[in-house]
Amino acid sequence: MATTSREITWGHDFDAALADAARSGKAVLLDFSAAPM
């Protein structure tokens, strides 16, 4: 049986994420990263 692994779909526009958070009632998770993208 095949297995699937989910991944986080990262946005890269903080201001758009903030607007999305206001609509959805969620918080923004802002990750300052140096990890490979």
Partner 1 sequence: MYTDPGVVAQVEEAFVPVRVHVKDQPTEFKRLGDRFGAQWTPTILSVDKTGQERHRIEGFLPVDDFLPQLALGAAHAAFAGGDYTAAAQRFDEIVSNYSASDAASEAQYWAGVSRYKGTGDASALKETARRFTERFPDTSWAKKASVWR
Interface residues with partner 1 (CB under 8 A) are: 5-14, 17-18, 20-22, 24-35, 37
Residue owning tokens 């206001």: 22
Angle in degrees, CA 12, 6, 32, rounded to 5: 30
Closest CB to partner 1 among residues 2, 31: 31
Minimum separation from the CB atom of position 6 to partner 1 (A) = 5
Minimum separation from the CB atom of position 15 to partner 1 (A) = 9
Closest CB to partner 1 among residues 2, 33: 33
State the burial class of residue 31 (Cβ atoms within 10 Å of its Cβ: 0-12, 13-18, 19+).
exposed
